[in-house]
Amino acid sequence: MFHTETYASALRDLLCNPEARLLLIYGDKDEFTSASKYDDWVDACRQTDGLKAKLDVVRVMGANHFWRSHDARTILEQAVGSWLS
């Protein structure tokens, strides 16, 4: 999904850090990136050799790239709030 080596290396470092907590959250109606591409990216993150980080993933049904739907924003806020607590 993200193709620069700098990004890939930084993400790999995070995923292999046992003290890292990552929240991946995305909508299934994104106009710029398909849900299947996000799903593939999530799968690749979960299959990272040496994965030690706590990785939480939330796929929000009906959410677009800009989170315009009130329901999608509510789910986003709840997911982030829950993850932070």
Does position 1 have pLDDT exceeding 70, yes or no?
no
Does position 79 have pLDDT exceeding 90, yes or no?
yes
Q: What is the CATH number of the domain that holds 43?
A: 3.40.50.1820
Q: Domains in the chain: how many in total? A: 1
**Running DSSP on this structure, what letter comes out for residue 67?**
-
pTM: 0.86
- For residues 50 and 17, give the distance between their C-alpha atoms in angstroms, rounded to a whole number: 9
- For residues 82 and 51, give the distance between their C-alpha atoms in angstroms, rounded to a whole number: 23
Does position 3 have pLDDT exceeding 80, yes or no?
no
pLDDT for 2: 66
The string of pLDDT tens digits covering residues 7-54 is 999 999 999 999 999 999 999 999 999 999 999 999 999 999 999 999
Torsion of Cα atoms, 36 then 38 then 42 then 44, to 10°: 70
Domain of 70 in residue numbering reads as 5-84
pLDDT band at 85 (very low <50, low <70, confident <90, very high): very high
Distances (CA, A) of 2 to 6, 33, 69, 75: 10, 11, 26, 25
